[in-house]
């Protein structure tokens, strides 16, 4: 299959390139194709004539987006519109990667694909805008919502490992719940989806629920760091600019319904990541 990947220098993009080794792929970073450039995006995608486009590029700085509203929407909404328009032209399947931050976190249980969205942050709103624009333009669409990613790039696991070397004591948020997800597992699900035609919205997160605090505790336990003292901290104490959902674990209901499968537990996926 001929596949074009946007955001190829990002965490998920790198995992996709690895996963699709042996396939015919065009992997593009922002220097190759700025997705906010409508004409260039259209020309680049249409001239390659991919069978599938995996759109992993995004403005991902959740806090900065609160003040950088224009750019967040330009990339996440209009950039997606540009990519989708090119997919329509060359009849390519499109995967749009989205986020648990499209939910408000107030439901009190894990969110499935048929639950109501209600993003609270600019990042979440701009990602939902991308979902909607993609839906307006293409039918052969997979919207894949995921959460708390870690892989090859800047992420929470790497931050904890670095701080674990520098500090004796660390305060970590213990009132936000979600599903940490290994990008290698997510890439596997995306590749499986594009091989079929079961279009729709999919949640794809490693199984199980945790807090950032317990996630950190597990990282240090698995790497044998017994010296670090972890202290729980509330979201309001941390005082970050962007509101985050308090409880936004993703239930991979569509994967269960269509493929009868679940993703492996987050602890197992983390263990493998740390062992590499
Ligand atoms: N990280 C998470 O925890 C998380 C959680 C839920 C959902 N997601 C979603 O998952 C997807 C992948 O996330 P990630 O963690 O892999 O992101 P990432 O590491 O931040 O990578 C995002 C990539 O997007 C590219 N990009 C940004 N602006 C662009 C533009 N104008 N034109 C073209 N490319 C542009 C960047 O390319 P260059 O490096 O080449 O500049 C960057 O490498 C995103 O859609 C994100 O919204 C992420």
Catalytic, 48? Answer no
238 lies in some domain: no
62 lies in some domain: yes
Q: Is 30 in the pocket of ligand 1 (CB under 6 A)?
A: yes
* Ligand 1 centroid distance, CA of 76 (Å): 9
219 lies in some domain: no
Q: Is 77 in the pocket of ligand 1 (CB under 6 A)?
A: no
188 lies in some domain: yes
Number of domains in the chain: 1
276 residues of the chain, pLDDT tens digit each: 999 999 999 999 999 999 999 899 999 999 999 999 999 999 999 999 999 999 999 999 999 999 999 999 999 999 999 999 999 999 999 999 999 999 999 999 999 999 999 999 999 999 999 999 999 999 999 999 999 999 999 999 999 999 999 999 999 999 999 999 999 999 999 999 999 999 999 999 999 999 999 999 999 999 999 999 999 999 999 999 999 999 999 999 999 999 999 999 999 999 999 997
Q: Is 57 in the pocket of ligand 1 (CB under 6 A)?
A: yes
225 lies in some domain: no
Query: Could you identify the atom of ligand 1 that is nearest to the CA of residue 96?
Result: 45
Q: Is 17 in the pocket of ligand 1 (CB under 6 A)?
A: no
Supply the pLDDT for residue 276.
78
Supply the pLDDT for residue 260.
98
Domain CATH for 52: 3.40.50.720
* Ligand 1 centroid distance, CA of 8 (Å): 8
Q: Is 76 in the pocket of ligand 1 (CB under 6 A)?
A: no
84 lies in some domain: yes
Supply the pLDDT for residue 24.
97
126 lies in some domain: yes
Strands (DSSP E) along the chain, which ranges?
A: 2-6, 24-28, 52-55, 93-99, 141-146, 149-150, 169-173, 177-178, 181-182, 200-203, 210-211, 229-233
Which of 26, 58, 123, 126 for mutating ligand 1's site (highest number of atoms within 8 Å of CB)?
A: 58
270 lies in some domain: no
Phi, psi of 182 (to 5 degrees): -80, 125
Distance CA 152, CA 142 (A): 24
* Ligand 1 centroid distance, CA of 60 (Å): 6
DSSP 73: H
Structural domain of 193: 2-155+180-209+250-259
């Amino acid at each position: 299959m001929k596949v074009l990947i946007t955001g190829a220098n990002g965490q998920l993009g790198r995992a996709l390139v690895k996963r699709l080794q042996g396939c015919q792929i065009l992997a593009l970073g922002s220097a190759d194709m700025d997705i906010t450039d409508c004409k260039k995006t259209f020309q680049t995608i249409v001239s390659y004539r991919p069978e599938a486009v995996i759109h992993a590029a995004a403005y991902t700085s959740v806090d900065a987006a609160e003040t950088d509203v224009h750019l967040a929407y330009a990339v996440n909404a209009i950039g997606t519109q540009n990519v989708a328009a090119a997919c329509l032209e060359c009849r390519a399947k499109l995967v749009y990667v989205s986020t648990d931050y499209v939910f408000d976190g107030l439901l009190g249980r894990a969110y499935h694909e048929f639950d109501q969205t209600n993003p609270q942050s600019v990042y979440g709103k701009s990602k939902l805008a991308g979902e909607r624009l993609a839906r307006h333009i293409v039918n052969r669409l997979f919207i894949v919502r995921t959460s708390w990613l870690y892989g090859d790039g800047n992420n929470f696991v790497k931050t904890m490992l670095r701080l674990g070397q520098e500090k004796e004591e660390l305060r970590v948020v213990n009132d936000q719940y979600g599903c940490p997800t290994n990008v290698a597992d997510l890439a596997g699900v995306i590749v499986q989806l594009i091989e079929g035609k079961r279009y729709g919205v999919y949640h794809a997160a490693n199984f199980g629920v945790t807090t950032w605090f317990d996630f950190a505790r597990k990282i240090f336990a698995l790497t044998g760091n017994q010296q670090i003292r972890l202290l729980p901290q509330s979201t309001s104490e941390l005082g970050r600019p962007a509101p985050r959902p308090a409880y936004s674990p993703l239930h991979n209901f569509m994967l269960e319904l269509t493929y009868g499968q679940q993703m492996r537990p987050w602890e197992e996926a983390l263990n493998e990541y740390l062992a590499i």
